[in-house]
Structure 1
Amino acid sequence: MFHLRLVPDNTRIAFMKGRHAGILLSIVLSVASVFLYFYPGLNYGIDFAGGIVIEARTPQAANFPELRHKLGALNLGPVALQEFGSPQDVLIRLERQPGDDAAQQKAADLVRATLAKEVPGTVVRRVEAVGASVSGELFYNGMLALGLAMVAMLVYIWFRFEWQFGAGAVVTLLLDVTKTIGFYVVTDIQFNLVAIAAILTIMGYSINDKVVVYDRMRENLRIYKKMPLRELIDLSINETLNRTLGTSLSTLLSILPLAIFGGEALQDFGIVLIFGIFLATSSSIFIAAPILLFLGENRLRRGQPEAAQPAATSAAP
């Protein structure tokens, strides 16, 4: 019905001219993200650090100083109060209490009773209490999920394409994941199970985008048998540029409502996904493609490259 072209057809942008700058910038950002991971470190959420989170809605605008005073008198340690959504929505965070999971639940019940007594009409909408053993297991399983997903993607790309394509995709994924971790540190967004879901989503989106670009490169390797690999990669990126930008824009438009209206949990998820869309789109062009050029220049193209000439016949299967 309506076909939107974000860039003109038959573009001839020489993306590979900026390959050294793109990879260097990516490495610098990833190394900086690794340092940020160790200091100041991630802001672990309740899922991984343990503790108590209570989401409540007061009948009128919440009186934060009074709530902080009443809850602080319970001797449950530091109490963090945060407004989200409307002035009536309050997010209460408590540190993990000494003892087992029963101690966490007892503290949560005490906060719930205090809210009901001091602010009649308050509705407790969500209570999460996680002990040390559970939080440690959740963190281990979350990291295991990321590792297994990356291995599965490597195997998939390796079997579908040549090994140079698989190596380029996985190295780019590692760089994308480290930069996403750095984004969590810089923005101080809580790193919890929702963060694991966001990173897995970014990995899936990123690998999907790279498969599309790689598939066009493989087709062009069969069609333009004498075209230098650098020119062929530029040609393939330009041919898929409208698809790449169109998919990124449509995905961005669907995630924006989550980032704006999604509430405390989904809002962080949406913000990270928006960052991941820009990251995955740029890395497909300026990271994955240059790595393929470096790895495949003397392997995907045998012998001295000649001037670009389209093959006389269709590509053989």
Structure 2
Amino acid sequence: MALRLKLVPDVTTINFFRWQWLTFGASIVAMVLSIVVILFMGLNFGIDFRGGTTIRTEAAEPVDVGAYRQALAPLNLGDVVITEVFDPSFRPDQHVASVRLSVQDGAEATSPEVLNEVEAALKTVAPSITFPSVESVGPKVSGELIWSAVMAVMLASLGIGVYIWLRFEWQFAVGTILASLHDVLVTVGIFALFQIRFDLTTVAALLTILGYSVNDTVVVFDRLRENLRKYKTMPLRDVMNLSVNETLSRTVMTVLTTLLALVALLVFGGDVLRGFVAAITLGVILGTYSSVYMAKNLVLWTGVNREPKAKPKAGTKFADIDA
């Protein structure tokens, strides 16, 4: 007999609307507080957004990222990102790394004196090390990157809203967009509150959060649409509660298995991955919460047309297309 792990009973009757004003109100307060924290505390931008210098290093000795970082620590250079570069065309004795240094306050780029100090420090680890190329990114380019990151998140949210509108109805699109923006905004607010480094990998994590959140929400909405056809006289609130309960087992299993991998990366992934993984971990938790407590509340308050109509029975002409 196969052993099956059940974290949630097959049939649950949880009333997810029992504390709807408290849960929805807490979400709105969290969004407002996130905006306040972002405006007054600001984000701890990484090199991608603050500007800085990228140094390409070559050495005959193998690259030891930990030793490189330890050698540079006494210089107090601020945000330092070190990654090893791999290429099949490299010689056996050609070991390449990329060292990114954030600009110091009031400086356009890293000064030659600081570069000399960096080279001297790294030579204590790899005596043969050289700097084949040194490139700087100024504040103007960094500002353009910030604007591009904001536009990427906004356009992704808009595209998700259009997809949900075509697949379901506009009420579902409104609920999905607000729930997704809640996940992103609160995640960014937590990054600002704890001054966690915010760089382009974090933006990639935010876009991943949008995808995860909408996937979770669409699962609930799909079941809701099926139940609206099945229970034509049942009050909308009860149909929504039933739909969330029917998908609860899937939701719990999905979020827990995802968190198992994320927590492992968070603990063992090192400093380079920490911001990226922290953002996705927060987003997975918030995305599950918003799918259960935010998106459906907005659909309930805006209402859904349940009058019988010709095909398509629900949503638009795209409603019966498989995801």
Decide: shared fold, TM above 0.5. yes
CA distance in structure 2 between the partners assigned to 1:192 and 1:22 by the alignment: 31
Q: CA deviation at 1:226?
A: 0.4
Show the 5 A alignment for 1:36-55.
36-52=37-53
Partner of residue 308, structure 1: none
Q: 1:139 aligns with which of 122, 146, 152?
A: 146
- Aligned to 1:225, what secondary structure does the other structure show? coil
Show the 5 A alignment for 1:1-150.
2-52=3-53, 57=65, 62=70, 68=74, 71=75, 79-80=77-78, 93-95=102-104, 98-99=107-108, 103-104=109-110, 106=112, 109-117=115-123, 119-121=124-126, 129-150=136-157
Aligned: 1:203 with 2:210: yes
The answer as to whether partners of 1:44 and 1:190 remain within 8 angstroms in 2 is yes
What is the root-mean-square deviation of aligned Cα atoms in Å? 3.2
Q: CA deviation at 1:124?
A: 9.5
Q: CA deviation at 1:262?
A: 1.3
- Aligned to 1:278, what secondary structure does the other structure show? helix
CA distance in structure 2 between the partners assigned to 1:168 and 1:211 by the alignment: 11
CA distance in structure 2 between the partners assigned to 1:153 and 1:83 by the alignment: 33
Q: CA deviation at 1:2?
A: 4.8
Q: CA deviation at 1:219?
A: 0.3
Q: Deviations over 1:192-222 (max 9, x none)?
A: 1011011111111000000000000000000
- Aligned to 2:234, what secondary structure does the other structure show? coil
Name the one with the larger helix percent: 1
2:284 maps to amino acid: I
2:28 maps to amino acid: I
Q: Which runs of 5+ in 1 are unaligned?
A: 72-77, 85-89, 304-316
- Aligned to 1:11, what secondary structure does the other structure show? coil
Q: Which runs of 5+ in 2 are unaligned?
A: 56-62, 83-98, 309-319
Q: CA deviation at 1:270?
A: 1.2
Q: CA deviation at 1:135?
A: 1.1
Q: CA deviation at 1:153?
A: 0.2
- Aligned to 2:151, what secondary structure does the other structure show? helix
Partner of residue 314, structure 1: none
Partner of residue 185, structure 1: 192
Q: TM-score, normalised by structure 1?
A: 0.79
Cα–Cα, structure 1 residues 97 and 51, in superposed 2: closer, same or farther, change >3 Å?
farther
1:202 maps to amino acid: I
The answer as to whether partners of 2:71 and 2:125 remain within 8 angstroms in 1 is no
2:287 maps to amino acid: A
Cα–Cα, structure 1 residues 107 and 31, in superposed 2: closer, same or farther, change >3 Å?
farther
Cα–Cα, structure 1 residues 58 and 171, in superposed 2: closer, same or farther, change >3 Å?
closer
Aligned: 1:293 with 2:300: yes
Cα–Cα, structure 1 residues 115 and 16, in superposed 2: closer, same or farther, change >3 Å?
same
The answer as to whether partners of 1:220 and 1:236 remain within 8 angstroms in 2 is yes
2:159 maps to amino acid: A
- Aligned to 1:80, what secondary structure does the other structure show? coil
1:112 maps to amino acid: V
- Aligned to 2:172, what secondary structure does the other structure show? helix
Q: Deviations over 1:103-125 (max 9, x none)?
A: 548567434322145x3437799
Show the 5 A alignment for 1:268-279.
268-279=275-286
Aligned: 1:167 with 2:174: yes
Q: CA deviation at 1:137?
A: 2.0
Cα–Cα, structure 1 residues 144 and 83, in superposed 2: closer, same or farther, change >3 Å?
closer
Q: TM-score, normalised by structure 2?
A: 0.77
Q: 1:282 aligns with which of 280, 284, 289?
A: 289
Aligned: 1:155 with 2:153: no
Cα–Cα, structure 1 residues 58 and 205, in superposed 2: closer, same or farther, change >3 Å?
closer
Q: 1:249 aligns with which of 245, 256, 269?
A: 256
Cα–Cα, structure 1 residues 116 and 209, in superposed 2: closer, same or farther, change >3 Å?
closer
Moved more, 248-257 or 156-165: 248-257
- Aligned to 2:202, what secondary structure does the other structure show? helix
Q: CA deviation at 1:178?
A: 1.4
CA distance in structure 1 between the partners assigned to 2:67 and 2:177 by the alignment: 51
Across the two proteins, how many residue pairs are aligned to each other?
A: 283
Moved more, 251-260 or 203-212: 251-260
